[in-house]
Structure 1
């Protein structure tokens, strides 16, 4: 069988592979050429003792097209947001959330938050400084964490209940 006959017979297979890989229309011709080159190599290298030509050709064409896709996507530069702008936005929203959360907390919840989370003190140290039990400080923590979770959830998914 001549290669021209093989091309006519396998061109729909190459088109099928290109469609299945969701290759954009403006580069279909380029990938059709890659598929045809792979078909030529399959035609030249095919060994009848190792299975059907169809399976061999399909694997070679698909492998070559996927390989080209990988090469192209490896070198694609994705524009990133300016890191400083992103940091400023995060800092701005974090400040708003903290201010709202702190405004909603009791003085004792704020004591736990500042001394434990920010200053890194243990519950025992806070209890000793405030003249209360560790259990009381744990209750402040539980209550403060509930409020913080609510603010974080509302920041991520706006909610109406405060």
Structure 2
């Protein structure tokens, strides 16, 4: 088994190929961990490629997964309260008061889903953010509609 340091040029070439320009040390560490796990899971009898090809593929896939996770996190968590406050008009403040009044009829989970729906998120996106199935998110939306129709 080769030393992990011998794979560092491979990891760096994948980082450059993917266009990663920030937090390179973190991605290098992810690559090193991936090399270690790939070396331990590689089975010559089952493999249709060399160990180096297997490791390259595992590193590439792991870095892409990490980029996607980071992208999704930033997509849902980058808006700050200061940004929201500077973009509201007086009409928005009236809508906010009305919105808060509507939310008092909903439980906490329904309030989250209601807020996400108003911000344009799809049911599948909401289910991922809440960690529930699509059908659960749809049932929550149905419950919200029923409660708000009575208001």
TM-score w.r.t. structure 2 length? 0.48
TM-score w.r.t. structure 1 length? 0.45
Structure number with larger C-alpha Rg? 1
